[in-house]
Amino acid sequence: MFDINSFLRDLSIAIVPFLLAVTVHEASHGYAAYLLGDDTAKRAGRLTLNPFVHIDILGLLFLLITRLFGWAKPVPVNFSVVARKKYGVALVAAAGPAANFLVAVLSALLYHIVSSINTNNPLILKVLFPITMMLIFSVQINIALGIFNLIPVLPLDGGRILQSFLPLNKQIKFAQFERYGFIIILLLIITRVVDYIVFPIIHFLIRLLI
């Protein structure tokens, strides 16, 4: 039976780590591109950790439904500029998931510290519970976001990374599939390929951390 109170409680706790996860993810793409000579994100005002600059309404609504997955507005990157550096596109693409994994590890460390606090004080317990839940959600959301984005399908980060290591003629052919990216991802979800391949990796890493 659907428990609306439990749903709203979990949602209110998950919203903060979700905003942090997507903000860090997108800002990291922008910072990586900036370090490689592309100031597109900076000129667009996207080199910031302000979540309201990055938030995408549809991605937020998807979080409301799944309580795990969501997305933000992609940071603009001039790939022709970053491609001048060796593996520049791959570095920019990898920066987002790498940042998510770092946040997940830090959240897990904080979770173990907070959960080890031994107290019978009801006031402290009342404060520690939502903090503990936020840290758990932070691990789950960041791992899920990082792994899901590493699926080797354009326009996901995994697709950009794979494309960077292909020969030039193969890169051009691979890029033609980007227009069908959303359909391919949808098919992977409908056919449960994500369930059998991606979810086990996500669940393994979450169990490893918490």
* Angstrom distance (rounded) from CA 130 to CA 58: 26
Specify the pTM. 0.91
Instruction: Provide the pLDDT for residue 125.
Output: 85
Element (DSSP H or E) covering residue 149: helix 122-149
Mean of pLDDT over the chain: 90
Q: Which residues are catalytic?
A: 26
145-197 pLDDT, tens digit each: 999 999 999 999 999 999 999 998 999 999 999 999 989 988 998 999 988 99
Mean pLDDT of 91-113: 97
**Residues facing residue 72 across a β-bridge:** 55
What is the Cα Rg of the chain in Å?
A: 19
Mean pLDDT of 59-81: 78
> How would you label 6-34 residue by residue, b for 16+ Cβ within 10 Å and e otherwise?
eeeeeeebbbebbbbbbbbbbbbbbbbbb
Confidence of residue 137 (pLDDT cuts 50, 70, 90): very high
Is 141 or 9 the better-scoring residue by pLDDT? 141
Instruction: Provide the pLDDT for residue 68.
Output: 58
Confidence of residue 21 (pLDDT cuts 50, 70, 90): very high
DSSP 180: G
- DSSP, collapsed to helix, strand or coil, labels residue 152 as coil
Domain chopping of the chain, boundaries: 4-209
How far from 183 is each of 52, 61, 153, CA to CA, in Å?
A: 28, 19, 10
Per-state percent for the chain, helix, strand, coil, to nearest 5: 75, 0, 25
